[in-house]
Structure 1
Amino acid sequence: MRMGAGDEEAGAGLWNYNSSSKRVCVMDASGRLGSALVHRLLHRGYSVHAALHNHHEVESYKRQYWSDHENNNSKLRVLDSDPLDYQSIMEALKGCCALFYSFELPSDHPTYDEVMGELEVRAAHNVLEACAQTDTIDKVVFTSSATAVLWRDNNNQHDALPSESDVDERNWSDINFCKKFKLWHGLSKTVAEKTAWALAMDRGVNMVSINGGLLMCPDLSIKDPYLLGAAEMFKDGVFVTVDLKFLVEAHICVFEDISSYGRYLCFNHIINCNNDVVNLATKMSQSSSPHAMEDNGVYQQRISNDKLSKLMLDYDSGIQVE
């Protein structure tokens, strides 16, 4: 494993994905993001190890993707890879030059709590340790969340978010604050990402992270764990969302650009006025906006994705950063 994606001597430029090493691993490939990443990577000419966290989905996944990608059958390998099983992770990574890692809730446990948070942290530890032990891995793209950035106590007051300055990827959510107010999603994402970064720095793993906003998808509901504390995010001007296509392109960009480093806040829309709230509620099949989010004001945006915007400025994705 080699550090170097952010080193000055590396210089700017794109990853040479036309080189002989074009095999990457996507884990969990069955989630919304993972599935979309597999499609996009195959389209860009990569060979992909699609690692699924649920072994019951392997055969159906193969049938679906091989019917959708008749010309890419030889480029796709589908594996059962339990993030709590170190050996299965090693098998999924074998021969790959990179890993795209995300943790999505299993269908039988669709919300966050203390137990699920502990599982996510253990999974992050196992995956980064496995990457450190896999000589072919040159880069890890670790999917985190904006909730690992937003939450912190402001002078021990009830305001959950800082009021004096804009928020960006340099900020970390306060673990004790998340525990106190049972912000399980923010707590899990923060501790898991910190665990991953600690291992990456200790083992010399070249890692970048994507801290995405609320993922907009057809099955989005008011029960999405990201939405806990939505009223506070809204009023503090940091309630951000991201479209799946944009999120995927951001992942590909930070992977292929050799100058990428550290964390990247990723969003392409901010919810900061009442109309935004109503539109969001409509997308979640609600007849009106949730009571906790009702507000007639317009709040100043206080969150920045300038770092990602600059990186993607010359990236050939056809998508604009707001």
Structure 2
Amino acid sequence: MAEKGRVCVTGAGGYVASWLVKLLPSRGYRVHGTVREPGDVKNAHLKKLDNALENLQLFKADLLDYSSIHTAIVGCDGVFHAASPVPSGTVLNPEVELIEPAVTGTLNVLKACSEAKVKRVVIVSSIVAVRMNPNWPKNQLLDETCWSDKEYCRETKNYYCLSKTIAESEAWEYAKRSGLDVVTICPTLVIGPMLQSTVNTSSQFILRLLKGGSESVENKVLNIVDVRDVAEALLLVYEKLEAEGRYICTAHKIKTKDLVDKLRSLYPNYNCPKNFTEVDEGAKLSSEKLQRLGLKFRPLEETLVDSVKSYQESGLLD
């Protein structure tokens, strides 16, 4: 396969980023991956990926340290900015723990991209930068023009949503000022098999549904997308010259109870929850803009089966 050039993936050891790092060499790219500690056991899976020896170079980088980011990006044609702080529990100091690293980290990446004359930057944003908007008309389809309301995020203490919203809006401001070619992807709940050894938040959610037992679960509307389809979407908007702006990335809409019923029928031996509390319907979302570029999503059952298989292999369901 002809080489398509070099690209950098920030936060290469993360859930979505790992699948992207796996996908890129198979499509002809050489990859620079940024991680906090290349020798850390949390990043060991990256070195085991196919063709990693020839096509993957890991860089020790901190998003708040501009020079380390710049070193990783120099010589690359494109950059996928996937690194972002995700809270694992209660956030005591949102400015320091989430907002500052997300915003400053994104701007450092973009400045390094400008300096290195990168052709295109694809940013992994989130549906939480879209949907937290109480003023959006109730029955209107939520599309890429909708932005989360920053004040509403603050008032409701949704600090992760706030960090993603500010980081993405700052990225667009920077792109406007600098002329840098930026595209963003806003995925919904991302599930699917894991490559990394540490359990990410969305995988924890599915594991809880498989082991929930007697606890009561909110029967909310879930918008789900496979982690491998998100990686494909990121590459698609990078390669398609006509790609521009924001892209919502979601494949399946399902209520929690229906998802649990599906899991129970596939895996009757697991202790899935039986009690549900009803909650508000939630907004309607569409990936039509992304699908027009040519993205096809895999069936939900395939995602669930591959997820559970990966949890079993990791010993998470023993």
- Write out per-residue CA displacement over residues 137-181 of structure 1, whole angstroms, 9 at most, x where no aligned residue: 100010000010001123xxxxxx640411011110000011111
SS in 1 for 2:278: coil
Q: What's the counterpart of residue 121 of structure 1?
A: 103
Q: Is the 8 A contact 2:218 2:278 kept in 1?
A: no
Question: What does residue 80 of structure 1 align with?
Answer: 60
Shift of 1:196: 1.0
Alpha-carbon separation, structure 1, partners of 2:166 and 2:275: 29
Contact kept? 1:58, 1:80, Cα under 8 Å: no
The equivalent position to 1:150 in structure 2, one of 131, 146, 168, is: 131
For 2:75, what is the secondary structure of its paired residue? Answer: coil
Question: Hey, what does 1:276 align to over in structure 2?
Answer: 259
Partner of 1:9: none
Q: Secondary structure at the match of 1:77?
A: strand
Q: Which residue of 1 aligns with 2:23?
A: 40
- C-alpha displacement at 1:93, in angstroms? 0.3
> Residue by residue, what CA displacement relative to the aligned partner does 1:259-315 show, whole Å, maximum 9, x if unpaired?
1000000011113463136658999x8741675xx2399x597211110011125xx
Letter in 1 for 2:79: L
Rate the CA distance shift 1:289–1:163 in 2: closer, same or farther, 3 A: farther
The alpha-carbon distance between structure 1 residues 24 and 289, as it changes in their structure 2 partners (threshold 3 A), is farther
Counterpart of 1:30, as a letter, is G
- Asked if structure 1 preserves the Cα contact closer than 8 Å seen for 2:119 and 2:181, the reply is yes
Distance 1:275 1:63, change over 3 A: closer
**Secondary structure of the structure 1 residue equivalent to 2:145:** coil
TM-score by length of 1: 0.75
Q: How many percent of aligned residue pairs carry the same amino acid?
A: 30
Matched, 1:138 2:119: yes
Contact persistence 2:120–2:180 (CA under 8 A): yes
- What SS is found at the alignment partner of 1:271? strand
**5 Å matches for 1:136-215?**
137-154=118-135, 162-215=137-190
Change (3 A) 1:112 1:99: farther
SS at match of 2:125: strand
Secondary structure of the residue aligned to 1:312 is coil
Contact 2:106 2:171 in 1 (8 A): yes
Alignment pair present for 1:31 and 2:6? no
5+ long unaligned stretches in structure 2 = 194-198, 208-216, 301-318
The alpha-carbon distance between structure 1 residues 179 and 279, as it changes in their structure 2 partners (threshold 3 A), is farther
TM-score scaled to structure 2, two decimals? 0.76
**What does residue 196 of structure 2 align with?**
none
Alignment match, 1:14: none
Q: Which residue, 207, 232, 237 being the options, matches 1:254?
A: 237
CA shift digits 1:20-48 (9 cap, x unpaired)? x6100011101011111111001111111
Letter in 1 for 2:66: Y
- The residue type equivalent to 2:228 in the other structure is K
Give per-residue Cα distances to partners, 1:224-278, cap 9 Å, x unaligned.
9xxxxx969x4xx6x4121111111111111111110000000111134631366
1: CA distance, partners of 2:175 / 2:89 = 28
Q: Give the CA RMSD over aligned residues.
A: 3.3
Q: How many residues align?
A: 276
Q: CA deviation at 1:62?
A: 7.7
Q: Distance in 2 between matches of 1:256 and 1:274?
A: 38
Q: Pick from 83, 96, 103: which aligns with 2:76? A: 96
Residue equivalent to 2:314: none
Distance 1:217 1:196 in 2: 28
Q: Which residue number corresponds to residue 13 of structure 1? A: none
